[in-house]
Chain A
Amino acid sequence: MGTWELTFAAILKILFVLLVVVGAFAPVLVWAERRQSAMIQDRLGPRRANIPLPRGLVDLMAWSLRPLQMGLVAGFALAGACIALLAVMGLFGLESVAGQSAESLYWGVLAFAGLGVLSALGYKVHRGIVDNGGNLRLLGMLHPAADAMKMIWKEDFIPPRADRFLFALAPILTVVPAIASFAVIPFAADLHWDHLTDLVHHGIAWEAVDGAPTLSGEAWERWVATAAAQGVAVTGPSIPMQIASLNIGILFIFAVGGTGVIGAAIGGYGSDNKYSLLGGLRAASQMVSYEVVLGLTVVPCFMIYDSLRLEEIAAWQFEHGWWGIGIPPLTLAAVLFSFAAVAETKRIPFDVPEGESELVGGYLTEYSGMKFGMFFTGEFVEVVLLAALATVLFFGGWDVPFLYEYGFDLPGSWELSVPLTHWTIGDVFLIEHWAVIAIQVVFFLLKVIVIVWLQLMIRWTLPRFRYDQIMALCWKGLLPLSLLNILATGILVLLWN
């Protein structure tokens, strides 16, 4: 594969990461956080941003409510009828019933249930808009967009005695490293470009339809042996599902992400405000302290996975079928990592650099408009980054339980009595290569969402710590513990060998 194709693939991956992280995760995170705080305090929260729709469209929606209701009922009733017919076939051992074969009935269930679900969704959306006076609200998901618009048009205030260069550089230095650190995060296994619609297993690819026998009950091993004989070795380019595959791997994240400290520090220093200066210093001091812990807690991972490359770390967990969190030394490492990650992103309960009861807004005091918004974008992107890193290191990265290169394979060897489609053999559900990769990407993002949500729960559960408590926790608690964890991991690994 030439340089141009690689560059093109890289651009696509960069756009995907930007779209998901900056375009979706960061705004939704802002929304979820505000919505959650509103729920706790029994306020309305971020759900007032409305987009008024044209009158005619709203009338059409109001008219469509009745047909949608009918579609809902009819869809589920027909799907139920198909299931009943299937049950009759199963009970009496019939080849077909009412002129319908099993296969067409399966498709009927899918199609009618789909109709029912879509009608229900449509009804809910239309009902919401009609009840809201013809305004599109989308749960308030438009609120982050409205916020960004507002911030752009707010006064861009620069303190007269501020260091103009440092004051301008600080928000940029917060956003850029946070986004750039995503370069080495792997979000799926390698994509074999020439075998998108084939089945791939252990470096062998075969055509999906021809290779998969329609028989049920045939032993899987025997089938794989036959297929392997028919298949060809995987050829052509394999595209890593990661922006850049660097040999320094995780070190890149700490090197680039670590520069985020400078943003907070010079922002506070350049603002010509005592609160800003103190906030910046607190931020710098806290972030460098927890960076040490963050760096040390992941060392046991390298000792066990034997690599610094994040794609190899994810692949190790995929091959062993065992996530890092299930290996005893890494369980402790994951706990320490989660503490350090929350502290590194300066969020509650570690948010003393911007604690409004002591320091007004900390290093953000003199910032306004989108420059203020940039600090927040950087913070939220960093939250997503550390969640993605935790996913790769401790939660199997893109590994999906029971999903192998060729499809889902449940443990044991029980077999389905009726073949669902010609895609199933026994308990194995074959999936084309491109779909396997897509499932991995989706599952990786789901894991990241769960971890980010846990962080939100922490944020709205714990009160703010004192500064001396934060520093003592780092230097007297987490640091010695992570050093001991490295030694313990060393002894365990060497004894196992």
Chain B
Amino acid sequence: MLSVYLPVFLLLAVAALVAILMFTLTSVLGPKKPTPEKLLPYESGSNTTGASHLRLSVKFYLTAILFVVFDIEAVFLYPWGSMFRELGWFGFVEMLGFLTILAVTLVYAWKKGALEWET
């Protein structure tokens, strides 16, 4: 079983090697000439004011929560999808119930304004 995953680990190792090679080359070969102006956060020429960690819109957090809900739904649909013919109408109706609950979730989030970005 584990031997099936051996090539995957090999590929991961090779990919990591490529990434680390690129990374190391540029940090070793690239020059480093810091000047006070260069070290400032780049904001198109104007001086930065305040901390760089802003207060963020709550929309981003809502999107993250919705992502968790719906991505788990998607992953739950995968084994069901690949077993679909064997489960037949019974499985279809069962999944219909599950999807209905999630559709209600989406409608609720929609009505509550969680999907609005204009304001």
B117 vs chain A, min Cβ distance (A): 3
Asked whether, in the complex, the Cβ of B75 is within 8 Å of the Cβ of A6, the reply is no
Stretch at the interface among A39-47, A99-107, A298-306: A298-306
- Chain A contacts for B42, CB-based, 8 A: 273, 275, 360, 365-366
Q: Which residues 257-282 of A have a CB within 8 angstroms of B?
A: 272-275, 277-278, 281
A367-416 contacts to B, CB under 8 A, are 368-371, 373-374, 377
CA A483 – CA B26 in complex, angstroms? 46
Instruction: Indicate if the CB atoms of B19 and A243 lie closer than 8 Å.
Output: no
Assess whether A22 is in contact with B18, with CB atoms less than 8 Å apart.
yes
Closest residue of chain B to A247, judged by CB?
B4
Contact of A272 among B30, B38, B52, B110 (CB under 8 A): B52
| Partner of A244 from B7, B23, B59, B118 at Cβ < 8 Å | B7
Instruction: Mark the stretch among A119-127, A156-164, A206-214, A341-349 that contacts chain B.
Output: A156-164
- Docked-complex contact A156 and B26, CB < 8 angstroms: yes
In the complex, what residues of A have CB within 8 A of residue B59's CB?
285
Is the contact region of chain B dominated by helix, strand, or loop, or is it mixed?
helix
What residues on A are CB-neighbors of B102 within 8 Å?
Answer: 483
**B10, A7: Cβ atoms under 8 Å?**
yes
Question: Once the chains are docked, how many angstroms separate the CA of A497 from the CA of B16?
Answer: 46
Task: Knowing A13-B7, A156-B32, A295-B71, say if A306 contacts B85 (CB, 8 Å).
Answer: yes
Residues of A within 8 A of B99 (CB): 483, 486-487
Smallest CB gap from B92: residue in A: A490
Q: Is B74 an interface residue (CB 8 A)?
A: yes
Given A306-B84, A308-B82, answer yes or no on A244-B33 (Cβ-Cβ < 8 Å).
no
- Check A277 against B52 for contact (C-beta < 8 Å): yes
Look across to chain B and name the residue whose beta carbon is closest to the beta carbon of A148. B22
Q: Is B31 part of the binding interface, using a Cβ–Cβ cutoff of 8 Å?
A: yes
Question: How many angstroms between the C-alpha atoms of A289 and B59 in the bound complex?
Answer: 12
**For the complex, is B104 an interface residue (Cβ under 8 Å from A)?**
no
Residues of the B chain whose Cβ atoms lie less than 8 Å from the Cβ of A24: none
Closest Cβ–Cβ distance, residue A254 to chain B (whole Å): 8
CB-CB under 8 A from A483, the residues of chain B are: 99, 102-103
Asked if B15 and A180 make an inter-chain contact with CB atoms under 8 angstroms apart, the answer reads yes
Beta-carbon contact of A244 and B5 below 8 Å: yes
A14-B11 in contact given A153-B30, A296-B74, A299-B77 (Cβ < 8 Å) = yes
A447 to B30, alpha carbons, bound, how many Å? Answer: 39
A176-B19, A497-B85 are known contacts. Are A152 and B110 too (CB-CB below 8 A)? no
Q: How far is the CA of A496 from the CA of B70 in the complex (A)?
A: 29
A86 at the interface (CB under 8 A from B): no
A494 within 8 A of B: yes
Which of B8, B20, B29 has a CB less than 8 Å from the CB of A246?
Answer: B8
Identify the stretch in A139-147, A420-428, A473-481 within 8 Å (CB) of chain B at 4 or more residues.
A473-481
B101 at the interface (CB under 8 A from A): no
Q: Given the complex, which residues of A lie within 8 Å of B43, measured CB to CB?
A: 273-275, 360
Question: In the complex, given contacts A159-B39, A490-B84, what are 14 additional A-B residue pairs having Cβ atoms less than 8 angstroms apart?
Answer: A152-B22, A155-B32, A156-B26, A160-B34, A243-B8, A251-B78, A292-B70, A300-B81, A302-B81, A306-B82, A468-B117, A479-B70, A490-B92, A494-B89
Contact surface of B with A, Cβ cutoff 8 Å? 3-8, 10-12, 14-16, 18-20, 22-23, 25-27, 29-34, 38-39, 41-44, 48, 52-54, 56, 59-60, 63-64, 66-67, 70-71, 73-75, 77-79, 81-82, 84-85, 88-89, 92, 95-96, 99, 102-103, 106, 110, 115-118
Taking Cβ atoms with an 8 Å cutoff, the residues of A that contact B are 3, 6-7, 10-11, 13-14, 17-18, 22, 151-157, 159-161, 168, 171-172, 175-176, 179-180, 182-183, 243-246, 250-252, 272-275, 277-278, 281, 284-285, 288-289, 291-292, 295-296, 299-303, 306-308, 360, 365-366, 368-371, 373-374, 377, 467-468, 471-472, 475-476, 479-480, 483, 486-487, 490-491, 493-494, 497
Could you show 16 A-B contacts with beta carbons less than 8 Å apart?
A: A6-B6, A154-B26, A155-B30, A161-B41, A171-B23, A244-B5, A274-B54, A300-B81, A369-B27, A371-B26, A468-B117, A471-B63, A472-B115, A483-B99, A483-B103, A493-B85
